Homo-oligomer: A and B are copies of this chain.
């Protein structure tokens, strides 16, 4: 309700809030600014301190001007669950998981997408697009269905249709594009420009979607009774979620609700870790990198063509006195199984990297068991199951009587 303008993070140029992607002058990333001084702080405090219903509880700090444009499936309001069993095992006191699998389409992407689609409606646009076969595609398709608008999802020709079942059921038009992901990305972008669609590709491209990510900070304010965790641990590809959460905390600080912001930890898969590589070499700019095959497909982003996104995320990590860390394939798979078998949390590999990264930093004494932390479990295990046929041989088969059972199983 209080949006004032878009601003380029590189050159500072200000724009009226319209259908903008990168800065028209320098190509930099655009961010949303608000008339913070006009916000009714007492009202905002009440909204921050009452039980969470959805991200729209914080609409004072979201970029929609008229609330009739809001398209909602009751996103956000996700549980914050203590890792009690793992805490006993590994010796930490206060580590919580923000369980983003509980969002409408099964991942945190519902936060940015919901805001992006609502803003598309507000701007009078009735077609949206994305180049993705993952969680963001499902979110865009789902919210488009609810909004009653068209969605075009561009995917590489090689994408197995099983990956886009969810988007298909939501009625998205899937288009396979010959060649690799970059071709899909570019074609979506060209179509966006020519047809005046709204592009919701989940990098830092669309400035409005980023505003959805920051609602995590507001929810944590309520769920932690105003306390700020020492660390927030986030799986990162380009990193809009990490950047968004920090933005949310910075707004709360600027508005006088909190006195510090958390250290932001970004986790990448070793096989695709351009941001971690820059962090470890003390570089201030991120270079795109070749993509290796990783089970953490949701963060396997080489950043080709939008390296500046990685640089902005690196800056957020460093300014917050955070850490960038990468984890191996084995560590990721172990994390999936530990979250499942010790805490009853079913994460897709990408989501489980938050635990893999935290555990690694704990083992290396870069974080201590006394530090409080919130781990972002970004996506549902049902999206990309790990267990399966490999274990088939280990499953016992018995005839239906107890003596056969006792022979085979250690009861």
Query: Which residues of A are interface residues toward B (Cβ below 8 A)?
Result: 50-51, 53, 73-74, 79, 81, 85, 99, 102, 104-106, 127, 142-146, 148, 152, 157, 161-162, 165-166, 168-171, 173-179, 183-184, 186-187, 190-191, 194-195, 336-337, 340-346, 380-383, 385-389, 391-392, 395-402, 405, 408-409, 411
Contacts and interface: CB of A to CB of B under 8 A. Distances in A.
Given A171-B341, A177-B397, 15 more contacts: A74-B99, A106-B346, A142-B346, A143-B344, A145-B344, A146-B343, A146-B344, A161-B395, A166-B387, A169-B340, A169-B346, A170-B344, A176-B395, A176-B396, A178-B397
Contacts of A51: 50-51, 53
Contact of A175 (B50, B176, B191, B409): B409
B391 A168 contact: yes
Contacts of A385: 162, 165-166, 169
A391 B161 contact: yes
Contacts of A411: 127, 191, 195
A400 B183 contact: yes
Contacts of A337: 169, 171
Given A73-B79, A161-B388, A168-B391, A344 B104 contact: yes
> Could you say how many copies of this chain the assembly holds?
2
A162 B388 contact: yes
Given A177-B398, A395-B161, A187 B383 contact: no
Given A385-B165, A387-B168, A343 B178 contact: no
A398 to B, nearest CB: 6
A146 B99 CA distance: 14
A396 B382 CA distance: 27
12 contacts: A105-B346, A106-B380, A145-B344, A161-B388, A161-B392, A162-B388, A162-B389, A170-B340, A177-B398, A177-B399, A190-B401, A194-B402
